[in-house]
Amino acid sequence: MISAAMAVARDGREVAVMSQTEIIGILLDFIGRPGATDAEFEALALRLFAYQFAHNAPYRRFAQQRGRTPLTVRRWRDIPAVPIKAFKDLTLSCCPPDDAERVFMTSGTTGSGRGRSYHPTLAVYDASMLTGFAARIMRGRDTIRMGILFPDEAALPNSSLAHYLALAKDRFGTEDSAVFVGPGGLDLDALLTFLAEAETSGEPAALLGATYAFVPVMDALTERGRRFALPAGSFLFDTGGFKGQSREIEPDAFYDGLSDAFGVPREACLNMYGMTELSTQFYDDGNAVCPPVKSGPHWIRSRVVDPLTGVDVPEGETGVLVHHDLAHFNSVSAILTEDAGVIAPGGFRLLGRVEGSASRGCSVAVAEFLAAAQG
Amino acid sequence: MSSVEQAGHLPGLPDEAIGRRIVEHRAWGETVAVALPSLSEDQARALCGHVRTRARETLRRMETARIVEAIDRASACLLDRAHPLRRKAETLLPVVTGYDRETVRLGLTSYLKTFRRPQLLRFLAEDFSNPGVLDGFQPAVKGGFVRARGPDLLLHVWAGNVPALPLWSLVAGLLVKAGTIGKLASAEPLTAGWFARLIGEADPELGECLAVTWWKGGEGGPEAVFLAQAECVMAYGGNDTLAALRAKVPVTTRFLPHGHRIGFAMIAREALNSRRAGPLARLAAHDIVRYEQQGCYAPQMLFVERGGPVAPDEFARHLAHELAALASRHPRRRLDPGEASSIAAWRSVHEMRALDGGAVLLGDPADPWSVVLLDPATGLSPSGLNRSVAVVAVDALSDVPALVAPHRAYLQSAGIAAAPATLFRLAEDLAAVGVTRISAIGRMTAPEAGWHHDGRFSLLDLVTMTEIEASAEAAAEGFAPYAD
């Protein structure tokens, strides 16, 4: 357990470093208290930076190299953001990694190794997820019948998405909710039965899963000439993109396809944007128009930066997204993603990945080189 | 915005029937709209048929000298700075590719110079001891006769934004009298079409045997038609692109892939005295700045030998200085977020390494260049491109082949500054680990005429030899009207 401490600046200024227990308490309170002001976000961000700087040695060195320490940084925007690639190369954890209750890992389809996020407790992650999900997906509804198109937590214990979907199903799913991806892959027959029941019952239902998991379902329905008309109030929830797990479909075609196959309007096709390197998720309000505006709750903020200098780009220009997630307290709160984005009223628009930009010529670029080096 | 530039060259297809896809390119505060041809499957089939037929009827019967003449004249037009197409190239290509005007101007001239008559003849002589085999049966040393024929239909799939790069393979195909269809690279969709049109002006019959078009990769339709109809496919791109293409090419079709490569340079201690180090750093900086390391021959790492009067760290500072100086004459274009991310990711890896003292980063992230000094030495790895480069301190250059050997599949060019004996000793070891081209520092991005791209024969790889064996010739004598 990490206890409280105090760092002293040369000028005698003191920066308090909270204990882990204090941090967790403050975060749970912050998450549960809507309407936090900018000043409150900033104050907590700075305290968390001091905590992470004190206890996360690789992050401390990273920050020092950039000349950013708790004694020099006064604004949350100046807290140095760690490139998500570093989650693969470095152990970014304030608590000893062995003390983590859970380690979430990236799927590791590209690059070297898998990025890891260490969670000494899931209390903050769960509170963040449940509060965000209630507000943006359930929107006042208590429960809904859920069909999950993703393996469960037992099958994928290191997947943050498996945990996320388990939380969703346990907290917001009705008794007859079910997971349709098992050891043998997608159980299409069971899913079709589920959909048919939902259709006749007149009760709203929801399908939630990885974006790529919807593709074979849509293909199977097309092949069988089957379409569903889910009752009003039903919604579809996808996340994560195609990741090479299915063929890629342009967003408009994808949501048209979903809407057509399940009889759910595109406004009720919700996409979640989350990452293993975060403890909080972003949502849109439907995909009637792509790309929609994404936004998160009050304990996460985003910037759009020039990835090289880390400086915010002028408003309206495309850059790379930096997320500052207070709930990701044990690792680092500020991460530099590999996602392109642009600030929009009420949030940002996600414009796809910028990772491994291939050369425009015939020079080999890092991504391809690494992929080959791993065989 | 100015008018829309029509890309491609499509003989035999009525212009008004051709679909177009308009793509806008922006750089240097300007916008250029390019209309890429977008053919239907039927049009693709018709184009293949037209090119193949015309090639059979005319190109096959042309003397190689006539083809050389037409290429020479087309190159002359693009070398003439007063020619309307050359002026257009100098205006549009900087906006389309993002390279600065000077780089485009110098690069065009440097490339096109290698497609003049003397260089083309050298190109032929490099692969054929007797280029006459392309025109008819020639006596073979072993006896009998031999003739070389290019494919009836050669398909080029170009990639990348280095201006005029597709001309290498386009010219190679024409020299072996292949009916030719090229697919434009989206990132530089203009030069190949212009060149094809100039060939058509120089020799209208030849222009009918050559088409330049575009399609969206991986979507079936016309792509499937072209891949099915071609007798030989020469493709450029990353391994994923090449693998996807190869999977679609019939097994009986010859597939010649040119994947992405990584270049590096080596500087021996004898080149590192106070008089030589500065100029050498300037030459290396030119290799790095020209085409922003997008070309496969550009250096991404410089191995610098310890023990000379100028130490590797000092050389790294010379290099940083020269890159900073070049940035004013050849400004780096504005990077898109993906490119900036690549440099940022590369820098951050070295930032982590610097925490342990194994790396020193020179320059600020906001500078339009990045140099990192790595000491102790590390194995070969790509930089973030766009003027980012690692200087690696090594005890001896003889250590370098082992540092690059694990990446054999990606090796191609090495620039070397060393005394003759060292040069040849290193060349042996580099050849053994897969390096196929060794040049002077400062010449890395300008391969000489007739070079063997990726160590292959540019022309010989395209042709099929037909041999009349001595037995057939001798037996024929028995059936001659004058036979006893």
* Residue B194 near residue B167 (C-beta atoms within 8 A): no
Nearest CB to B239; choose among A336, A363, A368: A368
Q: Quick one: average pLDDT of B56-76?
A: 97
Question: Which of A58, A86, A361 is facing B160, going by the closest CB pair?
Answer: A361
**Contact yes or no for B217/B241 (Cβ under 8 A):** yes
Q: What is the pLDDT of residues B433-470, one digit of tens each?
A: 999 999 999 999 988 878 888 999 999 999 999 999 99
In chain B, count H helices and then E strands. 16, 18
- State mean pLDDT over B143-157: 96
**CATH level 3 topology of B262-439:** Aldehyde Dehydrogenase; Chain A, domain 2 (3.40.309)
Note whether B348 contacts A: Cβ–Cβ < 8 A. yes
Determine the average pLDDT of the residues in A20-31: 96
The per-residue pLDDT for range B375-391, each reduced to its tens digit, is 999 999 999 999 999 99
Q: State how far the Cα of A340 lies from the Cα of A78, in Å rounded to an integer.
A: 20
Measure the CA–CA gap between B414 and B263, rounded to whole angstroms: 6
> Would you say residue A375 has pLDDT above 50?
no
Amino acid B306 reads R
pLDDT, chain B, mean: 94
Give the residue extent of every domain in chain B. Answer: 4-260+452-468, 262-439
B260 touches chain A (CB under 8 A): yes
pLDDT at A161 over 80: yes
- What average pLDDT does the segment A10-23 reach? 74
In a domain, A36, yes or no: no
Q: Is B413 left (phi over 0), alpha (psi -120 to 50) or beta?
A: beta
Do the chains contact at A365 and B407, CB–CB below 8 Å?
A: no
A242 alpha-carbon distance from chain centroid? 15
What CATH number does the domain located at B4-260+452-468 have? 3.40.605.10
Helix (H) or strand (E) segment spanning residue B173: helix B167-175
How sure is the predictor about B2, in pLDDT bands with cuts at 50, 70 and 90?
Answer: low
Inter-chain contact A61–B347, Cβ cutoff 8 Å? no
Closest CA to B155 of B14, B255, B7: B255
Residue A131 lies in a domain: yes
User: Quick check: bond before A291 cis, omega within 30?
Assistant: yes
Long-range contacts at B120-124 (CB < 8 A, ≥ 24 apart): B120/B68, B120/B71, B120/B72, B120/B171, B120/B175, B120/B449, B121/B68, B122/B449, B122/B450, B123/B171, B123/B172, B123/B175, B123/B449, B123/B450, B123/B458, B123/B459, B124/B64, B124/B68, B124/B175, B124/B459
CB spacing of B381 vs A65 below 8 angstroms: no
- Among B270, B288, B295, B319, CA closest to B419: B270
Work out the average pLDDT over A2-11.
Answer: 59
Measured between CA atoms, the residue of chain A closest to residue B294 is A361
The per-residue pLDDT for B1 is 45
Mark yes or no for CB contact B366/A310 under 8 Å. Answer: no
Taking the Cβ of residue B339 and every Cβ of chain A, the question of whether any pair is shorter than 8 Å is answered with: yes
Give the pLDDT band of residue A111 (cuts 50, 70, 90).
Answer: very low
Q: What angle do CA B206, B74, B293 make, to 5 degrees?
A: 115
Q: Are strands B388-394 and B254-258 parallel, antiparallel or unpaired?
A: unpaired
List the single residue in A with minimal CA-CA distance to B259. A362
Comparing alpha-carbon positions, the chain B residue that sits nearest to A304 is B337
Of the CA atoms within 13 Å of residue A307, those in its CB half-sphere come to 35
Nearest by CB: A372 against B187, B239, B341:
B239
Q: Is B391 on the interface with A (CB under 8 A)?
A: no
Name the minimum distance, in Å, from the CA of B189 to any CA of chain A.
13
pLDDT, position A10: 46
Q: Is the predicted pLDDT of residue A338 greater than 90, yes or no?
A: no
- Domain membership of residue A253 (yes or no) is yes
Is the model's pLDDT at A374 over the cut of 60?
no
**Dist. CA A62–CA B83, nearest whole Å:** 55
Residue type, B55: A
Please determine, for residue A356, whether its predicted confidence score (pLDDT) is greater than 70. no
Model confidence at B224: pLDDT above 60:
yes
State the nearest Cα–Cα gap between A129 and chain B, in angstroms. Answer: 29
Closest residue of A to B165, CA-based? Answer: A361
CATH number for position A150: 3.40.50.980
Which of A42-51, A335-344, B309-318 has the weakest average pLDDT?
A335-344
The span from the CA of B175 to the CA of B178, in Å, is 8
Angle CA B112–B116–B118, to nearest 5: 140
Contacts of A307 in chain B (CB under 8 A): 337, 340-341, 343-345
Nearest chain A residue to B258 by CA distance is A362
Cα distances from B378 to residues A301, A366, B399, B403, B427, in angstroms, run 38, 15, 11, 7, 21
CA distances from A20 to A5, A95, A276, B393 (A): 11, 9, 21, 44
Q: Provide the pLDDT for residue A113.
A: 74
Burial A96-125 (b: 16+ CB within 10 A, else e): eeeebebbbbbbeebbeebbbbbbbbbebb
Chain A residues in contact with chain B using a Cβ-Cβ cutoff of 8 Å: 58, 61-62, 65, 83, 85-86, 89-90, 306-310, 318-320, 336, 338, 340, 354-366, 368-369, 371-373
Cβ contact, residue pair A361, B351, below 8 Å:
no
Which residues is B30 bridged to in the sheet?
Answer: B27
Distance CA B304, CA B417 (A): 10
Residue A321: closest CA among chain B residues belongs to which residue? B337
Tell me if A318 is assigned to some domain.
no
Distance CA B56, CA B309 (A): 63
Q: Contact B162/A361, CB-based, under 8 Å?
A: yes
Smallest CA–CA distance, residue B294 to chain A, in Å, is 4
pLDDT band at A363 (very low <50, low <70, confident <90, very high): confident
What's the pLDDT at B425?
Answer: 97
Residues of B with Cβ-Cβ distance to A321 under 8 angstroms: none
> Mind telling me how many Å the CA of B345 is from chain A's nearest CA?
7
* Beta strand spans in A154-281 (E): 178-179, 181-182, 185-186, 205-210, 235-239, 269-273
Higher pLDDT, A372 or A300: A300
Percent of chain A with pLDDT over 70: 92
Between positions 143 and 162 of B, the ones with CB within 8 A of A are 159-162
Contacts of A364 in chain B (CB under 8 A): 238, 259-262, 296, 382, 410
User: Does some domain include residue A235?
Assistant: yes
What is the total count of domains within chain A?
A: 1
| Predicted pLDDT at B352 | 76
Peptide bond into B365 cis (omega under 30): no
CA distance B295 to chain A (A): 5
Please determine, for residue A253, whether its predicted confidence score (pLDDT) is greater than 80: yes
Nearest CA in chain A to B337: A319
pLDDT exceeds cutoff 60 at A29: yes
- Name beta bridge partners: B180: B154, B210
pLDDT surpassing 80 at residue B341:
yes
The pLDDT of residue A244 is 80
pLDDT at B53 over 50: yes
pLDDT attached to residue A1: 56
CA dist B130 to A273, A331, A355, B147, B284, Å? 64, 69, 50, 10, 38
Predicted local confidence at residue A62, as pLDDT: 86
Q: What is the per-residue pLDDT across B343-363, written as a single tens digit (0 to 9) for each?
A: 988 888 888 788 778 899 998
Burial (Cβ within 10 Å: 0-12, 13-18, ≥19) of residue B69: middle
pLDDT tens-place string over residues A169-181: 999 999 999 999 9
Do B161 and A90 make contact, defined as CB atoms within 8 angstroms? Answer: no
| Nearest-CA distance B415 → chain A (Å) | 15
Question: Contact A307/B337, CB-based, under 8 Å?
Answer: yes
E strand residue ranges, chain A: 5-8, 14-17, 82-83, 102-105, 116-119, 145-149, 178-179, 181-182, 185-186, 205-210, 235-239, 269-273, 282-283, 293-294, 300-305, 319-325, 334-344, 347-353
Cβ pairs A/B, distance under 8 A: 138
**Chain B residues inside the 8 Å CB shell of A373:** 406-407
Using a 10 angstrom Cβ sphere, with 0-12 exposed, 13-18 middle and 19 or more buried, the burial of residue B376 is exposed
Residues of B in contact with A89 (CB under 8 A): 349, 352
What is the reported pLDDT for A14? 60
Q: Say if CB A128 and CB A280 are below 8 A apart.
A: yes
Q: Which of B98, B260, B341 sits opposite A357 (nearest CB)?
A: B341
Report the SS3 class of residue B323: helix
Pure H helices in B80-166 = 84-97, 101-112, 117-127
Q: Which two tokens stand for residue A96?
A: 């000893």
* Residue in A83, A309, A360 nearest the CB of B345: A83
Quote the CA–CA distance of B404 and A7 in Å, as a whole number.
Answer: 46
CB B389 within 8 A of CB B312: no
Is residue A4 over pLDDT 70? no
- Whether residue A106 contacts residue A166, with contact meaning beta carbons closer than 8 Å, is answered with no
Question: What range defines the domain where residue A239 resides?
Answer: 123-297
Instruction: Tell me what the mean pLDDT of segment B260-278 comes to.
Output: 96
pLDDT score, position B31:
94
Q: Which candidate from B239, B300, B365 shows the least CB-CB separation from A308?
A: B365
Average pLDDT over residues A37-64: 94
Task: Kindly report which listed range (A145-149, B14-18, B291-295, B335-339) carries the lowest average pLDDT score.
Answer: B335-339
Give residue A354's pLDDT.
77
CA-based torsion, B298, B301, B302, B305: positive or negative: negative
Pairing of strands A185-186, B4-6: unpaired
At residue A357, the pLDDT reads 59
Cβ atoms within 10 Å of A202's Cβ, excluding its own: 9
Q: Would the pLDDT of A7 be above 70?
A: no
A369 and B410 within 8 Å at the Cβ level: the answer is: yes
Q: How far apart are CA B129 and CA A267, in angstroms?
A: 70
Decide if B106 touches A, using CB distance below 8 A: no
Average model confidence (pLDDT) across chain A:
90
Task: Say yes or no for a CB contact (<8 Å) between B337 and A61.
Answer: no
Q: B126 vs A97, A150, B69, B340, B452, CA distance in Å?
A: 62, 59, 18, 41, 9
Alpha-carbon span A300 to A27, nearest angstrom: 12
Is residue A343 situated within a structural domain?
Answer: no
Q: Would you say residue A185 lies in a domain?
A: yes
Residue A107 pLDDT: 81
Closest-CA residue of A relative to B98 is A360
Length of chain A: 375
The one-letter code for the residue type at B337 is P
Contact B147, B175 (CB under 8 A): no
Instruction: Quote the Cα angle for B81-B84-B89, to 5°.
Output: 70
Tell me the pLDDT tens digit for each residue of B400-435: 999 999 999 999 999 999 999 999 999 999 999 999
